[in-house]
Chains A and B, each alone.
Chain A
Amino acid sequence: MATQTAKPSAPTCFQDILIRLQAYWGAKGCAVLQPYDMEVGAGTFHPATTLRSLGSRPWAAAYAQPSRRPTDGRYGENPNRLQHYYQYQVLIKPSPPNLQALYLGSLEAIGIDMDLHDIRFVEDDWESPTLGAWGLGWEVWCDGMEVSQFTYFQQVGGHDCTPVSGELTYGLERLAMYVLGVDHVMDMPFNPPESPIPLSYGDVFRQTEQEYSRWNFDQANTEVLLRQFEDAERAVADILAQPAQDPKTGKHIVMAHPAYDQTIKASHLFNLLDARGVISVTERQAYIGRVRALAKMCADAFVQTEAGGGLAE
């Protein structure tokens, strides 16, 4: 490798890796966003990815997104399964020709020595039935471990992506555990170990993993959840049924994002219901179809907005 710069030092803690990714992608020109303020199952659900991958306007964003997978809760005991974890997400539209090189640079930035490791791009096509989205790409392997998903979006919410966005998703805990050589996620240093108050990942999240595992699996009130699912579903239709022209300001305001918030909500409620075990195999498909219908409606609405490239100037 002909890189002239000195190799980055090894990171010492979880947040170090997050901060390095932020700095790296910020320096490469991405808008460094913050997490979306709603419960989502994956970083893809952030409107900065889902909605912004639609339409013709260029876009580049990077952010960490706390993600919730209620069925993956293990009361904080499993070494690498969590019901709440972080995904680091990068979305660039149109996908630049050197996206693979940019991505490899980010691995170097977090302390992976490119001269000692075996990095591979292994076919893995991505599909999100709830978002009506798919793309082609790879899972990226580092010495046999999957460290990222790399996808060229082809369709989102039933719309062809033109131009195509390149999406990168890093599972932060897994990646950090690998880089830091930690075997159990709860043992991973969260802040620098030499800090006045050193905190491990377990110090921060063990208790919440227990609480949410109990809640997700046994306590969440399924009647309430079902009702909320239906409320959210109705809300999407209600919001999008409003005329584009706001009667108060007289402006063209399609409320794609408020409707999409309700879609996110419905999707998470479905995940909770699934974890509670009240959705049968056949019902499951039907629920996924209902969420997908909402995502499509939101995508249809977004492409009529300015950010969605629907208002020709």
Chain B
Amino acid sequence: MPDLLIELFSEEIPARMQARAADDLKKLITNGLVEAGLTYASAGAFATPRRLCLTIDGLTAESPTTREERKGPRADAPEQALAGFLRATGLQRGQLEERTDKKGNTVLFAVIERPGRPAAEIIAEVLEHTIRTFPWPKSMRWGAGTLRWVRPLHRILCVLSSEGGAEVVPLEVEGIAASNLTEGHRFLAPAEIEVSGFEDYVTKLKRAKVILDPAERADTIWHDAQQQAFAAGLELVEDKGLLAEVAGLVEWPVVLMGEIGADFLHLPAEVLQTSMKEHQKFFSVRDPKTGGIVRFVTVANRETADHGATILAGNQKVLSARLADARFFWDNDLRVAKDQKMEPWLAALENVTFHNKLGSQKDLIDRIAGLAGTLAPTVGADAEMAGQAARVAKADLASEMVYEFPELQGIMGKYYAQAAGLPAEVANAVEEHYAPLGPSDAVPTAPVSVAVSLAEKIDKLAGFWAINEKPTGSKDPFALRRAALGVIRIVLENDLRLGLNAAVAAAGDQIGPRDQGDGVQGHAETADVVTFIHERLKVFLRNDGVRHDVIDACLALPGNDDLWLVVARARALGAVLATEDGENLVQGFKRANNILAQAEKADGVAYEYGPDRKYAEDAAEVALFDALDNADAAILAALEGEDFATAMGAMAALRTPIDAFFEAVQVNADNEIVRRNRLNLLHRIRETCLKAADLSKVEG
């Protein structure tokens, strides 16, 4: 079985696009080959800054011959029908077969045989099509051509190899003819290389100073960098994203560790790290004793006769210039924080627009401060301190450092709040009020931080709802889903009992009602915001293994704006539904509900009058009365104590009497009084259960 090797050799591919491109190449080519009738044993794709590579093992040498029969019109069908059939099949009348069907009619059949095609022919077609339609996130033209690729494409290597030897698959795309040639490292081994198959290719590339596999390059970088740091008694700061990016910038990684000038070591670790990473793509090296960042690691794309001395010196110089800027920002900012208590920044934020319909950053700060104060008692925070933290939470947005490195917002704010002499709770809240930023980001737990963080998110939701900028489909430019998830996680992970309706309404009150014809709705949207949070809650709990119908059954009850309550109820209900009693109870409940609904529809009456025990004829009927009375009492008592497990257990205990009732009794009895009483009894089942959960929402 032949093996296939493809390499698309171009000018430098952006690091961030390489992994996806390798995957796409594999998917598109293998799908194309399989669609054309070939099969293969395995495939692997790789990328370097200058090449995409695909290797396919055990490809079939040709596609199978296929035979297709198509039934046509009767032999005596009108001329047009025959002509249409001939057109569709591409055959002549003489090539059609005549067969007699069951009714004795003569029917025409086309037998179309497609002979198998050699793999090379199929590969050439599939590869050309793939190159011409490749899904780069951004592509370009070059020279006088019309082909699009991520950067100019220079070579197509396409070799099909088997025991008999290796051959180039003939194809040409916009003047680039496929060959068995590639090039090594741009500087270290630029000569042409002839290859006969994947193993030969990998070996020769390595000799030509190219490591094909990005995972191997990343491993090499990580291993060497750790070694060097370790040898100096230091430790490398892990950064997977940076590692992947750097591995995409080099074909022959050479790790070099350098010094950070003594003048810069006093800068906060986050500043050093960010500046080095963003501008220079350097890793940070930490002194484990002090926790400070003391050195950097850069990854060159080559070896040199001076063992990287020139490269390292150059990088060190560039870093010094960068850090000189950072130090300048830091010194200036500290002065504003210490001497002027950040006042100039707060004043500047009056002129910075948050959103043109939601006012300035200053307006935003005022709203967050107001809401944080309102929420403070609920979350156990000092209201004054929460307000104070909110008022300085955004101050660093006007600092020079955050202007330069927006990703340091909050972190710088904490340092500056400390410099301004504010309490530690306030400084920490400045940093933590943005959290959680992602599903795995930690949630704030300190009460002041919680108050400001919740206020920030609830204001945001209420605000963008008020101006009708809700997320739609995949569009969520203001990250409102993230804000909602943040609210959910903060509430649940801190066991907060927060009434969302009131909180969102309070946020809405601060925003409007400003009916100035500008589309600002005030707090008319509270219910919609809470519904949105409920939707996110379902997604969040689904990842946690809670069924969406179980949540729906709990959201249908009053008090659903207390997320802690909803979740406690849902978990208890979920646990009960997982038992046999629970499952059968749902069946019984649905049966009761269906019978009742049919009767109510037929009779045009709502059976809500309450059943009367004295019309109970059967023992099972009486037992159900007793069971419902017991359940009512037990559920109410349990709910009083927010003991949902007990409440759900009491509800599930209805399963046996309900089953027994349906077993023994015909609801639609001949006696109209008995019948109506039984229907009212069914209604009572619904009512009793509804105290614990709305089982009509439960599927199954």
Contacts and interface: CB of A to CB of B under 8 A. Distances in A.
Contacts of B12: 120-123, 138
A143 B318 contact: yes
Interface stretch (B141-149, B199-207, B265-273): B141-149
A136 B143 contact: no
Contact of A117 (B151, B191, B314): B314
Contact of A118 (B142, B301, B353): B301
A95 B15 contact: no
Most B CB within 10 A of own CB, among A143, A161, A162: A143
Contacts of A135: 140
Nearest to B11: A100
A25 B280 CA distance: 30
A144 B144 contact: no
A152 B142 contact: yes
B255 to A, nearest CB: 12
B630 interface: no
B314 A136 contact: no
A123 B315 contact: no
Most B CB within 10 A of own CB, among A95, A166, A282: A95
B84 interface: no
Contacts of A26: none
Contacts of B321: 79-80
A125 B144 CA distance: 20
B154 interface: yes
Given A114-B187, A163-B143, A163-B144, A145 B138 contact: no
Nearest to B279: A144
B318 A144 contact: yes
A142 interface: yes
Contact of A97 (B49, B154, B187): B154
Interface stretch (B159-167, B232-240, B303-311): B303-311
A44 B528 CA distance: 51
A197 interface: no
Contacts of A87: none
A121 B141 contact: no
B305 to A, nearest CB: 7
B406 interface: no
Contact of B314 (A79, A95, A144, A163): A144
Given A118-B302, A120-B249, A143 B310 contact: yes
Interface residues of B, number: 41
A163 to B, nearest CB: 4
A2 B190 CA distance: 9
Contacts of B380: none
B44 interface: no
A164 B140 contact: yes
A66 to B, nearest CB: 23
A152 B250 CA distance: 22
Contacts of B315: 143-144
Interface string A160-182: 01111010000000000010000
B14 interface: yes
A82 to B, nearest CB: 15
Contacts of B145: 163
Contact of A136 (B138, B249, B313): B138
Given A120-B249, A145-B318, A164 B190 contact: no
B298 interface: yes
Nearest to A161: B141
Contact of B142 (A121, A122, A164): A164
A115 B49 CA distance: 20
Contacts, number: 98
A164 B314 contact: no
Given A97-B143, A143-B318, A152-B142, A115 B305 contact: yes
Nearest to B322: A144
Interface string B312-340: 01110111010000000000000000000
A122 B249 contact: yes
A288 B187 CA distance: 42
Given A1-B187, A136-B151, A118 B300 contact: yes
Contacts of B499: none
Contacts of A113: 310
B613 interface: no
Contacts of B114: none
Contact of A1 (B16, B154, B190, B249): B190
Contacts of B141: 152, 154, 161-162, 164
Contact of B310 (A116, A163, A282): A116
A100 B15 CA distance: 18
B32 interface: no
Nearest to B299: A118
B305 A164 contact: no
A3 B240 CA distance: 39
Contacts of B190: 1-2
Contacts of A138: 12
A145 B151 CA distance: 22
A97 B152 contact: yes
B314 A281 contact: no
A117 B311 contact: yes
Most B CB within 10 A of own CB, among A119, A122, A123, A282: A123
B143 A95 contact: yes
B318 A281 contact: no
Nearest to A113: B310
B326 to A, nearest CB: 15
Contact of B301 (A2, A120, A123): A120
Given A1-B187, A122-B249, A136-B140, A143 B311 contact: yes
A144 B305 contact: no
A94 interface: yes
Contact of B144 (A80, A94, A154): A94
Contacts of B313: 143
A96 interface: yes
B143 A164 contact: yes
Contacts of A136: 138-140, 150-151
A145 B310 CA distance: 13
B143 A96 contact: yes
A166 B11 CA distance: 13
A207 B694 CA distance: 82
Contacts of B152: 95, 97, 152
Interface string B677-689: 0000000000000
Contacts of A1: 187, 190
A97 B147 CA distance: 14
A161 B143 CA distance: 10
A113 B141 CA distance: 32
Interface string B331-356: 00000000000000000000001000
17 contacts: A2-B191, A95-B143, A115-B304, A115-B305, A116-B306, A117-B304, A120-B249, A123-B12, A123-B16, A135-B140, A136-B140, A138-B12, A152-B140, A164-B140, A164-B141, A178-B314, A281-B353
Interface of A: 1-2, 79-80, 94-97, 100, 113-123, 125, 135-138, 142-145, 152, 154, 161-164, 166, 178, 281-282
Given A95-B142, A118-B302, A122-B12, 4 more contacts: A1-B187, A123-B16, A144-B280, A163-B143
In order of increasing CB-CB distance, the 9 nearest A-B pairs are A143-B314, A123-B14, A121-B12, A163-B144, A144-B315, A94-B144, A118-B300, A94-B143, A136-B140
